[in-house]
Amino acid sequence: MQALPSIAFGGFSGSAKGVTARQVGGRTILSVKSFPTGQTTVAQVVRRASLTKISKSYKLLSDSQMLEWERLAEHCSGASVFGQKAKLTGANLYVRLNANRVMAGEAIISDAPASQVAVPNVSYSQVAITPQLIVFSGIDHESSPYKLVVKMSGSQSAGISNGWSKTVIISSEVEDDWGEADVTKLYLKTIGVEPTPGQKVFIESYWVDTSTGFTGQIFKDSVIVTGESSFTPRKRVTMDRLNPNYEQHVSAIEVDFSSAAPVVQYDVMCLGHSNVASSEVNLEDDLPVELQGTSWAIGRGNGEDGKIVAQSYVMWLYGARYGDPAKITFAHRGGYYVKPTEVFGPGVIY
Amino acid sequence: MNFNSTGNNFGAGTISFRSHQEENFVVLNAKFTYNPESPEYQAADVLEIYVPDLSIDRSAISGVFLRFRDVRDSYGYTWDNSGGTVVKSWIKDKNTLCIEKFPNFDEKGEITIYILALYTMLARGGNPIKGTKVRLQTSQETQYLRWGSDTFFVEFENWIFLHMQFGSCTYAYRDSPWECNLDNLPSGITADLPFCGGGNQYNPSVDGISEAHIENGVFTCQTRTAGFEDTGHDPFIFAFLVRDVEE
């Protein structure tokens, strides 16, 4: 360790054995060299390699670019330690923002953002965690360029009150589907084991502005894992909810009944069948009475011959009856009939 | 509520909208043209129309109609092969209405877009609200137009959904301007409507699109495209229409 004359006033820097001292913004920071306690994961290796690459790329910037990063860094600050906010250098800020961008699948930016930008805070109504399902609901959606970063821990004892240091990134680009984000697969891929009922999972989440790399405030949460989910998915028909025992005449389907408006929302690729100008799907689950009826939507041909004719379609939504499953029939009405046709958009129901 | 666009990214002028807006859906009506040769259009990946604050900050996909004009003279006879299709549209945020860029007919020159669409949000915590189908009753002094059984409307306080399906026309009137009364159409409806259907000999990827108009409960259609009555190309109108009523 290099002891400077001002050591009495804390002015020293360097490393000795496992201790490193450094001067940052007039403060002396002592840190003990840390050694990894667990096996290094692939994600960690990738992240470290990415940080190294970003750090090296800073040295390739022009003087004016570095100056811009320094200028921006003057207006940004690092984490607060004992009430004193750490100052950031241009290089620190460059690495920090670009690391966030790279994590979200974006390329490294050389030019500093014009200014610091405010990023929204995360807001959601519920996280339901069971061994089979991990889903956020009621997320206040943010459009591009914002992406949601979610960090979660493995199951911890329910008695632990502060376990956020054990969280790891589940995904840096969670996209909510109308406020719902099912992260079950991401969780299992990262953590490796299902959550245990009765134990606690710690969660951190924040938005990252992928255009600049700035992040919003970290929202900390913890949830007790339950055996059964309190989450009720919204009512819709998708490919995985069609009855596998019946012939289906669509190659893709999403019929959504959750608008609370006078319309059903359609996005269906109708293939047609036999010589009839219609397509049918048989459903795994029954269709409640309140969702049965007649509905209309617009269609556009998607024919192999290049036909893109505008058409109108009537849909009949039937509940299960006489031993047959619930069914939706998409029947062509206006325009020239084309196979296949994409039926899409909102349709009134009566 | 009527409003004007505040800008766009494809070189069109100011676009006037009629709208009905609720907390989970909006109905928008507008008609405008753009020039596919404009540099702004050519630079755009998605057509964006900037608007004053809407009541919703995003929507699921809806459909709007795109129409090109293609009128040819052949041996002293005018062939109207105008046509088009439906393109996707959605609300990206409170101030941006998006339309899918659909360049298939850019070489035809000026394109007309008809927005007669409802844009809805999803996951609103409730089922769809059912309406009531009402058969549209039509009348003419001399009955020369006949409409199919799928000619109806679903009425709401501030908007309607209208579907009209052409049946047939008395031969002597096939080339005349058409006019017929829509006897029980709810009040306050004024709109230019794409009348989709009919074969399109010169543009076989699409059907023809003629233009009709509704005002004061009267349907008019000055001319139809060639092939309008071709078998199997059933002409129809599909529109969510804002009613001009006190809100």
At which of A69, A96, A116 does a domain end? A116
- Rounded to an integer, what distance in angstroms lies between the CA atom of residue B179 and that of residue B214? 10
- B16 and B110, same structural domain? yes
Determine the distance in angstroms separating the CA of A294 from the nearest CA of chain B, rounded to an integer: 9
Domain boundary among B97, B120, B143: B120
Residue B247 domain-assigned? no
Indicate the residue of B118, B196, B236 with minimum beta-carbon distance to A263.
B118
B126 found inside a domain: no
Does residue A231 form part of some domain? no
Contact A298 B63 (CB under 8 A): yes
Whether the Cβ atoms of residue A2 and residue A11 lie closer than 8 Å to each other = no
Query: Counting beta carbons within 10 angstroms of the beta carbon of residue A286, is it exposed (0 to 12), middle (13 to 18) or buried (19 or more)?
Result: middle
pLDDT digits (tens, 9 = 90+) for A90-148: 999 999 999 988 888 889 999 999 888 889 999 999 999 999 999 999 999 998 889 99
Co-location of B151 and B114 in the same domain: no
**Alpha-carbon gap: A173 to the closest alpha carbon of chain B (Å):** 19
What range does the domain containing A49 cover?
Answer: 41-116
Q: Which domain holds residue B58?
A: 2-120
Strand, coil or helix: A254: strand
* A191 membership: H or E segment, kind and range: helix A184-191
CA gap A337, B176 in Å, rounded = 28
pLDDT digits (tens, 9 = 90+) for B34-64: 999 999 999 999 999 999 999 999 999 999 9
Residue range B136-193, pLDDT digits in tens: 999 999 999 999 999 999 999 999 999 999 999 999 999 999 999 999 999 999 999 9
CA atoms within 13 A of residue B102's CA, in its CB half-sphere: 21
Q: Which long-range contacts (CB under 8 A, 24 or more apart) does A23-28 make?
A: A24/A86, A24/A87, A25/A86, A25/A87, A27/A81, A27/A84, A27/A86
A146/A172 Cα distance (integer angstroms): 11
Query: B-contacting residues of A 178-217, CB under 8 Å?
Result: 178-180
**Residue B164 and residue B84 in one domain:** no
Please count the structural domains in chain B. 2
CATH of the domain at A313: 2.60.90
Token look-up 């002592």 returns: A30
Would residue B128 count as lying in a domain?
Answer: no
Whether residue B167 sits in one domain with residue B83: no
The answer to whether residues A19 and A106 belong to one domain is: no
Contact between residue A128 and residue A228 where contact means Cβ atoms under 8 Å apart: no
Same structural domain, B8 and B112? yes
Q: How far is B118 from chain A (nearest CA, A)?
A: 7
Query: A138 and A80: one domain?
Result: no
Domain boundary among A78, A96, A116: A116
Write down the ipTM of this complex: 0.97
User: Distance, in angstroms, between B158 CA and closest chain A CA?
Assistant: 12
What angle separates helix A63-73 from helix A90-103, to the nearest 10 degrees? 90
Let me know whether A99 and A157 are in one domain.
no
- Would you call B55 exposed, middle or buried from its count of C-beta atoms within 10 A (0-12, 13-18, 19+)? middle
pLDDT tens digits for range A186-198: 999 999 999 999 9
- B163 in any annotated domain: yes
Please indicate, yes or no, if residue A229 is contained in any of the structural domains: no
d(CA A350, CA B11): 40
A79 has a pLDDT exceeding 60:
no
Phi-psi region of A83 (alpha: psi -120 to 50; beta: other; left: phi over 0): left
Shortest CB distance from A259 goes to which of B128, B161, B236? Answer: B128
Q: Which of residues 220-249 of A touch B (CB under 8 A)?
A: 234-235
Residue type for position B128: P
Residue that terminates a domain, selected from B120, B152, B173: B120
What is the model's pLDDT at position A3? Answer: 47
Q: Output helix, strand, coil percentages for chain A, rounded to the nearest 5.
A: 20, 40, 45
Which residues of chain A neighbour B154 with C-beta distances below 8 Å? 262, 348, 350
- Residue type, position A343, single letter: V
- Of B80, B99, B120, the residue at which a domain comes to its end is B120
